[in-house]
């Protein structure tokens, strides 16, 4: 079942045509990887799914991105509500310079989901357990989040996202600043989370895309070149440019 339907979607940075008539169907509770060389448009497309690009001056779009059948670019869309339902994790961990507890509780409070202290504490613990961080931090909840390792900070950022119960999680190269052992933990966590969330990940790491995703989209110069099962993209792609990229001829 499709969770996200992208139809004839174009994005411009002023006069620069960054995304060109993209059509893509992303399945629910599945990991979809977006791959391609730097500057191909994959991160721009990812950020279009929760309209973070709106804050960039000169951006304009046409076409549709439908989530659960509703076009998120309709003029009556509540963008704040959209971003609650479509959470995002960035390349480098960005915990707030406050306590571990308050990082996870932040979204609950700022979105006025609950002000009940027991409910907040329950959600903080559950979110930290869901990212396999609770046992490591349960005695340090009042300490600064900045004391955590980079990998723990990234898991904390994921906990902060899932605390407000999104349906979709966008991951923009979430392991780019992590070592191989930490990367492995984030990959395992991502696969576990996909049982409950629709996940779209941008990655430059071909092995990562092959390991964790079910579907993969290859982009080049703003065009969606090929979209298929990940196994097919990596073993028997339909397009020569896809084969050249996944085989390492350019990147």
Residue 118 lies in a domain: yes
Residue 116 lies in a domain: yes
Give dist(CA 42, CA 91) in Å, integer. Answer: 13
**Total domain count, the chain:** 1
Report the CATH number that the domain containing residue 211 is assigned in CATH: 3.40.50.300
pTM for the full model? 0.94
Residue 251 lies in a domain: no
Q: Is residue 232 classed exposed, middle or buried when 0-12, 13-18 and 19+ CB atoms within 10 A define those classes?
A: middle
Hey, what are 16's tokens? 């620069």
Residue 8 lies in a domain: yes
Residue 184 lies in a domain: yes
Give dist(CA 212, CA 101) in Å, integer. Answer: 29
* pLDDT, tens digit (0-9, with 9 covering 90-100), for 10-56: 999 999 999 999 999 999 999 999 999 999 999 999 999 999 999 99
The residue segments making up the domain with residue 213 are 2-246
Residue 34 lies in a domain: yes
Distances (CA, A) of 211 to 71, 139, 164, 216: 31, 34, 28, 11
pLDDT band at residue 115 using 50, 70 and 90 as cut-offs: confident
- CB proximity list for 130: less than 8 A, separation 6 or greater: 159, 162, 193
141, 122 Cβ separation under 8 angstroms: no
How many other β-carbons are positioned within 10 Å of the β-carbon of residue 174?
A: 27
The reported pLDDT for the residue numbered 251 is 63
223-248 average pLDDT score: 95
Residue 142 lies in a domain: yes
* pLDDT, tens digit (0-9, with 9 covering 90-100), for 92-105: 999 999 999 999 99
The reported pLDDT for the residue numbered 244 is 92
């Amino acid at each position: 079942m499709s969770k996200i339907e992208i139809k004839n979607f174009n994005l411009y940075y002023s006069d620069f045509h960054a995304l060109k008539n993209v059509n893509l169907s992303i399945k629910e509770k599945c990991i979809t990887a977006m791959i391609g060389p730097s500057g191909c448009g994959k991160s721009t497309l990812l950020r279009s799914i929760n309209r973070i690009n709106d804050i960039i001056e000169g951006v304009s779009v046409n076409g549709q991105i439908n989530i659960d059948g509703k076009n998120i670019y309709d003029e009556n869309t509540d963008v704040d509500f959209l971003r609650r339902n479509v959470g995002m994790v960035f390349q480098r961990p960005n915990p707030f310079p406050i306590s571990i507890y308050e990082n996870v509780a932040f979204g609950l409070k700022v979105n006025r989901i609950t002000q009940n202290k027991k409910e907040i504490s329950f959600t903080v613990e559950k979110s930290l357990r869901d990212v396999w961080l609770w046992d490591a931090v349960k005695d340090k909840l009042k300490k600064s989040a900045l004391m955590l390792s980079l990998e723990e900070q990234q898991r904390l950022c994921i906990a902060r996202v899932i605390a407000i119960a999104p349906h979709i999680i966008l991951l923009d190269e979430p392991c780019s600043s992590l070592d191989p052992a930490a990367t492995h933990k984030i990959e395992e966590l991502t696969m576990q989370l996909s049982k409950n969330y629709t996940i779209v990940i941008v990655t430059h790491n071909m092995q990562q895309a092959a390991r964790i995703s079910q579907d993969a989209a290859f982009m080049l110069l703003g065009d969606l070149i090929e979209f298929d099962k990940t196994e097919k993209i990596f073993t028997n792609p339909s397009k020569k440019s896809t084969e050249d990229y996944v085989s390492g001829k350019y990147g």
